[in-house]
Structure 1
Amino acid sequence: MQQLTQKLGSGDMVIQELPYPQVGKGMVVVKNHFSIISAGTEGSTVTAARKSLIGKAKERPQQVKQVIDTLKKQGPVQTYRAVMKKLDAYSPLGYSCAGEVLEVGEGVTEFKVGDKVACAGAGYANHAEIVAVPVNLCVRLNTDANLKDAAYNTLGAISMQGIRQADMRLGETAVVIGLGLLGQLACMILKASGIQVIGIDVSDAPVQQAIKNKVVDAAYTRDSAGIEEKINAVTSGQGADAVIIAAATSSLDPINFAGAIARKKGKVIVLGAVPTGFERDPHWYRKELELKMACSYGPGRYDLNYEEKGIDYPYAFVRWTEKRNMEAFQRLIETKAINLDYLTTHEFNFDDAPKAFDLVVKRTEPFSGIALKYDVEKEVTKQAIKVNDLKANSKVAVSFIGAGSYAQGNLLPNIPESNDVSRIGVLTNTGTSSKRVAEKFKFGFCATQEEDVLDDKTNTLFIATRHDSHAEYVLKGLKSGKNIFVEKPICLTEGELDEIITLQQKVQKPVMIGFNRRFSPFISTIKKKFGEGPMTMIYRVNAGNIPKDNWIQDMEIGGGRIIGEACHFIDLLTFINGSLPKTVTAMALPDPNGLNDTVNISIQFENGSTGIVAYYANGSKELPKEYLEVFASGNTAILSDFKELKIYGKGKPFKNKSFNQNKGQKEMVEAFINGLLKDGQSPIPMKDIFAVTRATFKVLESIKNGSQPYAV
């Protein structure tokens, strides 16, 4: 299937052949009939992508700061890879479309194949022939629905949420500042609700458009003489009950102007992207105005449980969610309470989408809504997309399932260039990432189905998906006879671990987990100088805060930070002392969110060694992340953030310092591949992988049961 993409680095925009999207749980796959270009949101994205690197940096100071922070902590190599990954990626465009359902995923009951639907969501409702969308970002339409109008779905819901934030009553007056698509839609909906509407824009064309199509009772350009007096006259000398700002600008004029024209104790709703540093006097303070933000489509937006898991809010307690806003907008279209005909000033065939965006960026002629029309008669297949010629008869034939930021920065660049190693296929959730990864790292194809990377062409499977799918893919890979590399954690439950152990022992295929720190040259030095045997170890991890609503903190998806990351540090202590965890005890700092990510973990090892993992989420961001101390037989090693090692013993201290942080990712990948080539074995013993994983589960048990010790 084809999709419109753009590279952030070069600004190049192309329609390219990408893999058919996967039908995930709680998802529907839709064949697009129409999608709508948002001149504001998408136009600014495209314009920024076409700027120079300096221009991009000026527009994104926060991202520049992140780059500088990464440079300080990880060094230039990892920073360069992270930046280039962003700049070279194929970014999807679009977030509002309509079409018909081709497939429904597991657990979907409200849609069936053939339903007409309208879809929303950046990264989902793309400008593409086929899209996969979560159920709560998709609404069913009547069989005779006008799909071009329905494709305004996202924009309509955004406008409606702004109006809901205004909480207006029949007969009140609203001023809408900014008469682009969002502003025009807001005027329509307000007018249909019995509200007196006044429109304002800096340009005359949208003002005349609103007046001509009768979506306002009055409208003025911002520079109209006596504009405040005119609005005062229309509102009987009181001012507007609510002002909805649908503009996008860096100017403070909209927010200050809103204060001037609102009535006393009125409301100002920020629907667009404007600064809110208003002047306190004479209007905002003296009128005691209320400022409210409208969050995109409405309640549920940015909520992982709602958008990705499909868990709805109770109707009685949250009357209007983002999906219900979309449904209400579609009812307005269906009942002809609003008429969108005039909004679509241009319609392009999907093949001409780059020309449509040239119009948006260059503004060679007046426009309002721009619709992309798709060839719905075109046959769509699920075949893998060939990217490069496959290398035949290699001893190690690698495919990837999942290839996000970590894989692109630390795994893929380190696969050896060798006649003994071939790169077969890439399968990811999004066709844009799988295509780019296949191109950049010279894989034979980008896949659309699991079977494409589980067949006989592949004998070694790298799994770098989100945590909740690791166990599933490990089991599928083992059943298919593959050598397995899986990013940590290997699974999220003890039941999954037991199943993996049983199957691995049966098929005798190596399973490698991404415990990279044990492969760091710094750790190799410590091992060489300390050997094995009883020792004491302290590992302080300044992990930093991750919000509760991040997928990593979700126990069903990410497993939480103990399972998801602390396993790394338990493994490193296991490797250093040379024996397996025997018992674990853990104490967590009381946390109102119950995240258990500020915790002291005490470990007793089989050879008598003891270790402490001090995993803290409540520290300063300025403090380096990792600090390790090892004590044994009169010797002490201190490793600071994998950049500096000092070993104290007899004589002069040993010192080793590196400009680049080295956590062993390169050495880990090479060790895995070399192990397969040499004897078909994983460089990490199975007993270590399974014992460390079980120890992380026991940490959570100890926290839950009052810091009781648990045998591993």
Structure 2
Amino acid sequence: MRQILQSFKTGVTELAKLPAPKVKTGQVLIKTTRSLVSLGTERMLVEFGRASLIQKARQQPDKVKMVLDKIKTEGLMPTLETVFNKLEQPLPLGYCNVGKVIEVGKGVTDFKVGDRVTSNGQHAEFVSIPQNLVAHIPDNITDEEAVFTVIGAIALQGIRLVNPTMGETIVVIGLGLIGLLAAEMLMANGCKVIGYDLDDNKVAIAKEKGIIAFNPLKGNDPVKFVLENTNNVGADGVLITASAKSNAIISQAAQMSRQRGRIVLVGVIGLNISRAEFYEKELSFQVSCSYGPGRYDDDYEQKGIDYPLPFVRWTEKRNFETVLQLISTGKLQVKNLISEVVALEEYEKIYGEIGTSKSIASIIKYDESTQPESTIIVTKKEGQPTKGVIGLIGAGNFTKMTLLPALKGTNAHIKHIVSSGGVNGTALAKKHNIAQSTTDYELVLDDKDVDLVMITTRHNLHADMVIKALDKGKHVFVEKPLALNHEELEAIEESYQKSNGTLMIGFNRRFSPHTQKIKSLVGDAPMNVIATMNAGAIPPEIWVHDMEVGGGRIIGEACHYLDLIVYLTGSKIKAVCMNALGENPAENTDSASILVKLENGSTGVVNYFANGSKSYAKERLEVFSQEKTLIMDNFIKTTGHGTKGFSKLKTKLNKGHKAQFGQILEKIKQGDIALIPYEELINVTKASFAAIQSLKEGKWIEIE
């Protein structure tokens, strides 16, 4: 399929060839017929992409601070590599899509094949969208009218926050597409609407719709104009849909408002607010969030859990349906807002001049004869190796930032890369000379050429993919964790016993030269190990915290150090006991300490903390044994005390990824990848589960 992408590194807007997405659980696969270009939002993205590095930095000072913090802890070159990798990731454009349903995912009940729908899908020939972000189109609405639904919902949500009543005067600042849609919906609500914009064409369209509109550049002072048209009372509400860096707009909004007026921001403006202007009138100010309640809530958007209507009357999907109803009944006229309709392959007519375009609404038309293909050839390779062919499932941050850079310069032959939407996988395939990009991981499992399947997806997908790969006789590398619960682990063990394949988890830290040096100095003698991870806080809504998706940070991340202790002591874990911070420690796995008993009498402590400073090193390891003490600082520096002949090892940041993958590539040529004994992989996984159980039950948990 073809999709419009924006490069943040080069600034180029391109029509890329990608594999079509596979429909997911709770989603519908839509064949696009029309999409609308949101000139305001997309202009900002395109102009950001075309800006220089210095200009990008000036626009995002918060990101600059994050970069400086990372330089302090990890060094300049690793940080720059991370930044450039981020910039190389193309961004899909668009969020106003219309098309027909061609496939329905598991659990979807509201839609069937053939339904004509609108969604927040991108400018792509095929999109897979969660059902709560999709709405049915009434029969009397054309595709070119329905494509205004999502952007109309943005305007509608702003209106709902203004909470206008019949007869009130509402000012709309900025008569772009969202402003014009909002103004017309406010009129349908029985409001007196005043709007202004610096573009005469937009002002003229507004006047045709019955809006009291003007251009401030033509001599009308906005504040005086509003006061004169409200008998000096002021506006009941002000809806700001403009985009400007100046603080003048928020000041004007305050000055033109009546006592206790309401101001709602939908656009992007300077927000240096004058306390006096708001204080004297007791004004309220609120920022509107996109389409409405449910936006950015994974439970609502991705899992399809609706908010009960009696308690949350207007969700983003119900806002979509309201806009469609207004168009269907003729209360919202959108045809006269269409500036142009262009074919997808002529997209440059829109994006080539997007910085200076005076268009109101540009619509992209799609070829309805196109069929979805889940795989594309990116690079043609000759002389395929007979052993060691890799199929890579997952194209997220770990693959992009860690795995593929670590494989760079090796003889790794990656035949397939799988990504859910096709964008990330194709971009990485082009950069790293990977033959095929696909959205169908079953293709990888069925390919007889593939010896090694590498899985780097979200944690909840690991177990099922590992089982299917083992059942196909593949060797499997899975980035931690192996599984999220005992049931998944038991199923994996059952498949492993029947399979000819071998298994490896991405416990890379045991392969670091720092770990190797410590191991060589202490041997297998009983020891005390203290491992501290200054992990940093992650917002609670991020998927890692979801026990069903990410498994939490102990199972998903702290398992690294459970494995490290097993490796250093040369012994399996016998029992664990975990305690966490706070009044309700059983609910907090972000800042916790795990006590570890080993079968050979060694002991360990894993401190996993999310409440430390980012300026402090992220990882620290202390080992005490045979009157020796070794301290590893962030996999950059290791110092020895009482270690005759050794005092210090210093390297660039090296967590062992390159060594780990290098050894895997050597082993796979011999027919396996068992770098870590299978029993240790299972033992560490069980220990991570036991840590969570210990926290809940408040006692030591023995490992079976």
Larger CA deviation: 199-208 vs 506-515: 199-208
Structure 1 segments of 4 or more deviating over 4 A? 416-419, 650-653
Query: Following TM superposition, by how much is the alpha carbon of 1:652 offset from its aligned partner in structure 2, in angstroms?
Result: 7.0
| 1:294 aligned partner | 288
One-letter code of the match for 2:428? V
Does residue 225 of the first structure (1) align with residue 220 of the second (2)? Answer: yes
- Bigger drift between 11-20 and 576-585 goes to 11-20
Counterpart residue identity of residue 523, structure 1 = T
Summarize the alignment of residues 28-67 of structure 1 with structure 2, pairs less than 5 Å apart: 28-67=28-67
Does the 8 Å contact 2:22/2:420 carry over to 1? Answer: yes
Question: Which string of whole-angstrom CA distances, capped at 9 and with x for unpartnered residues, describes residues 332-387 of structure 1?
Answer: 11111110011111111111112211232233xx3111111111123333443343
Distance in 1 (alpha carbons) for counterparts of 2:174 and 2:102? 38
Q: 2:125 aligns with which of 124, 129, 139?
A: 129
Corresponding letter in the other structure for 1:209: I
Residues 119-198 of structure 1: matches in 2 within 5 Å? 119-120=119-120, 125-198=121-194
Which position in structure 1 is the counterpart of 2:345? 351
Deviations 1:252-280 (A, max 9, x none): 01100000000001111011112322112
Query: 1:323 aligned to 314, 317, 324, which one?
Result: 317
Q: For residue 644 of structure 1, what is the aligned residue in structure 2?
A: 637
Once residues 358 and 391 of structure 1 are traced to their aligned partners in structure 2, the CA distance between those partners, rounded to angstroms, is 41
Which residue type is aligned with residue 290 of structure 2? S
Match of 1:246 among 237, 241, 244: 241
* Correspondence for 2:444: 453
Name the residue aligned to 1:473.
Answer: 465
Q: Which range is displaced more, 410-419 or 637-646?
A: 410-419
* Amino acid in the other structure paired with 1:671: Q
Distance 1:4 1:444 in 2: 22
Q: Does 1:385 align with 2:341?
A: no
Asked whether the equivalents of residues 2 and 125 of structure 2 are also in contact (C-alpha less than 8 Å), the reply is yes
2:625 equivalent to 1:632? yes
The offset of 1:476, in angstroms, is: 1.1
Q: Give the direction of change, closer, same or farther, for the CA distance of 1:591–1:190 in structure 2 (3 Å limit).
A: farther
Cα distance per residue 1:462-503 (max 9 Å; x no partner): 101111101111111111111111111111111101111111
Q: Distance in 2 between matches of 1:418 and 1:270?
A: 52
Letter of the aligned partner of 2:591 in structure 1? T
Does structure 2 conserve the Cα–Cα contact (< 8 Å) formed by 1:204 and 1:221? no
Q: 2:198 aligns with which of 193, 197, 202?
A: 202
Question: Residue by residue, what CA displacement relative to the aligned partner does 1:181-215 show, whole Å, maximum 9, x if unpaired?
Answer: 1111110111111111000223333222211232x
2:230 to 231, 235, 256: 235
Q: Do residues 614 (structure 1) and 607 (structure 2) align?
A: yes
Q: Does structure 1 residue 598 correspond to structure 2 residue 599?
A: no
Deviates more, 1:672-681 or 1:493-502: 672-681
Q: 1:390 to 1:171 in 2, by over 3 A?
A: farther
Q: Matched residue of 1:40: which SS?
A: helix
Q: Return the alpha-carbon distance in structure 2 between the equivalents of residues 203 and 13 of structure 1.
A: 26
1:556 alignment counterpart: 548
Map of 1:480-491 to 2, 5 A cutoff?
Answer: 480-491=472-483
SS at match of 2:390: strand
- The CA deviation string for residues 412-432 of structure 1, in whole angstroms up to 9 with x for no partner, is 12336566x422111101211
2-side partners of 1:395 and 1:706: how far apart?
Answer: 49
Amino acid in structure 2 at the alignment position of 1:702 = S
**Shift in Å, 1:70:** 2.5
Unaligned runs of at least 5 residues, structure 2:
none
| Match runs of 1:270-289 below 5 Å | 270-281=265-276, 283-289=277-283
Instruction: Indicate if the aligned counterparts of 2:343 and 2:366 stay in contact, CA closer than 8 A.
Output: yes
What is residue 304 of structure 1 aligned with on the other side?
298
In 2, Cα distance between equivalents of 1:152 and 1:391? 51
Residue aligning to 1:18: 18
Whether 1:441 aligns to 2:432 is yes
SS of corresponding position for 2:326: helix
Structure 1 Cα separation of the partners of residues 643 and 361 of structure 2: 76
Distance 2:647 2:16 in 1: 55
CA contact (8 A) 2:247 2:272 kept: yes
Higher mean displacement: 71-80 or 183-192: 71-80
CA distance in structure 1 between the partners assigned to 2:583 and 2:330 by the alignment: 52
Q: Which amino acid aligns with 2:434?
A: F
SS of the equivalent of 2:354 reads: helix
TM-score (norm 1): 0.96
**Aligned partners of 2:52 and 2:409: how far apart in 1?**
33
Change (3 A) 1:287 1:592: farther
C-alpha separation in 2, matches of 1:49 and 1:98: 26
Contact 2:199 2:215 in 1 (8 A): no
- The one-letter code matched in structure 1 to 2:4 is L
CA 1:653–1:256 in structure 2 vs 1: closer, same or farther (change >3 Å)?
same
- Greater shift, 221-230 or 442-451, is seen at 221-230
The secondary structure found in structure 2 opposite 1:298 is: coil
CA contact (8 A) 2:581 2:588 kept: no
TM-score using structure 2 length: 0.97
Judged with a 3 Å threshold, the aligned counterparts in structure 2 of structure 1 residues 227 and 12 are, in CA distance, closer, same or farther, namely: closer
2:93 maps to which residue?
A: 93
Does 2:258 correspond to 1:263? yes
SS in 1 for 2:578: strand
Any residues of structure 2 matched to 1:506-585 within 5 Å, and which?
506-585=498-577
Q: Secondary structure at the match of 1:359?
A: coil
Q: Output the amino acid matched with 2:602.
A: S
Q: Is the 8 A contact 1:388 1:439 kept in 2?
A: no
Contact 1:203 1:221 in 2 (8 A): no
Identity among equivalent positions (%) equals 38
Distance 1:226 1:680, change over 3 A: closer
Instruction: Describe the superposition over 1:670-700 as per-residue Cα deviations: whole angstroms up to 9, x where unpaired.
Output: 1212222245241111111110001000001
Q: Per-residue displacement from partner, 1:232-255 (whole Å, max 9, x unpaired)? A: 122122101110111111110110
Q: How far is the alpha carbon of 1:224 from its aligned partner?
A: 3.2
Inter-partner Cα distance in structure 2 for 1:592 and 1:27:
37
Contact 1:387-1:446 within 8 A present in 2 as well: no
Distance in 1 (CA, whole Å) between partners of 2:547 and 2:231 is 56
The secondary structure found in structure 2 opposite 1:360 is: coil
Q: Is the 8 A contact 2:521 2:643 kept in 1?
A: no
Map 1:2-13; keep pairs closer than 5 Å: 2-13=2-13
Q: How far apart, CA to CA, are the structure 1 residues paired with 2:28 and 2:246?
A: 41
Aligned equivalent of 2:421 = 430
1:104 partner amino acid: V
For residues 590 and 275 of structure 2, the distance between their equivalents in structure 1, rounded to whole angstroms, comes to: 41
Indicate if the aligned counterparts of 1:587 and 1:601 stay in contact, CA closer than 8 A: yes
Conserved? CA contact 1:85–1:405, under 8 Å: no
CA distance in 2, matches of 1:80, 1:671: 27
User: For residues 414 and 537 of structure 2, what CA distance do their matches in structure 1 show?
Assistant: 37
Query: CA RMSD of the aligned region, Å?
Result: 1.7
Q: Look up the match of 2:112.
A: 112
SS at match of 1:309: coil
Paired residue type of 1:579: S
The CA distance in 2 between the partners of 1:711 and 1:398, in whole Å, is 34
Structure 1 pair 107/428, CA: closer, same or farther in 2 (3 Å)?
same
